[in-house]
Chain A
Amino acid sequence: SAQFVPPYTEDCRKGMYPPTGPTFKGSVPWYKINLDSAPRKRWNQLINDKKVELTNLIQVIKDLAIDFFPSGKLIELVDKGLAPLVDTLPSPFDEELKGIADVSGVPLGEIMLFNIFYEVFTV
């Protein structure tokens, strides 16, 4: 099939580990999530560290939405329509998403969209 036409398919790689070189972008940091703390608080440290990157991701998805729906109606729908749905989620997910929205400053509807993106993406 088209996919087997080199150079898109290569011979089985060897000696790639430990990860280095052009296919290795970087390692991944560790965080603890304390399940004994309140759902609304347990993600605070992580989100505080990553809120810039999270905001950037949400912005790039919003820019895509604007490309398709320049009127901004879709984003408005997400912000106004999805936010109330958070209260329909089972515990502790409802409170966890609210905590993430609090600390990141990203609107709750957009945090909800990020967390249900798997279901939404099927559209």
Chain B
Amino acid sequence: MNIFRFAGDMSHVVSILVLLLRLRSSKSAVGISLKTQELFLIVFVTRYLDLFTTFYSLYNSFMKVAYIASTTYIIWMIRFQEPYKSKYDASQDSFLHIKFAVAPCAGLALFACLVKGELSPIDILWTFSIFLEALAIVPQLFVLQRYREVENLTGHYVFFLGAYRGLYILNWVYRSYYEQFYRHNWLVYVSGAVQTALYVDFFYYYVVSKYYGGKLTLPT
């Protein structure tokens, strides 16, 4: 564990807590993409299958369960709990049907694992989750574009979610530099870079709006 990875995990935790706070305080899911949450749940469920096969640490196991539980709760809240259910506007969260993200990532993961010769289902699903996570934020970014003006807590939720994987990139640099036996996984680096790159323009408008004060508004 290193400071970058810990900061990244804490950023991810903060993002989930801020999203929960935002849902509770605004009593609606307007401006929040349910699709993004569902994609993240698929990411966690396919990535953390080793929960049952490999024990790394209490922290690692606890966080995996916490991510799956919190994301499941958020999806349940928006889908089934009032007032979120009646206020959720699926037509505003219509970009990127889940299958159009899942299918290419599944194909790419299968291909990558064939090339690498790692054919265990756990490895293939793990690789699939690495690719899928890069796309998971796309529906949320489109919902932000739709509503243009970004509500304060929603802005923080997206910012910390983007910062988490950006900090992981620093963690990979650190590990490749300091850990003698660390084996590189270029698929993870590329996917993490693409994922973080998708946030770049949001980061820009977020930082500018925080620096100059005023509302966070995204250009059309």
A and B interact physically: no
Q: Which residues of B contact A (CB under 8 A)?
A: none
Q: Which residues of A contact B (CB under 8 A)?
A: none
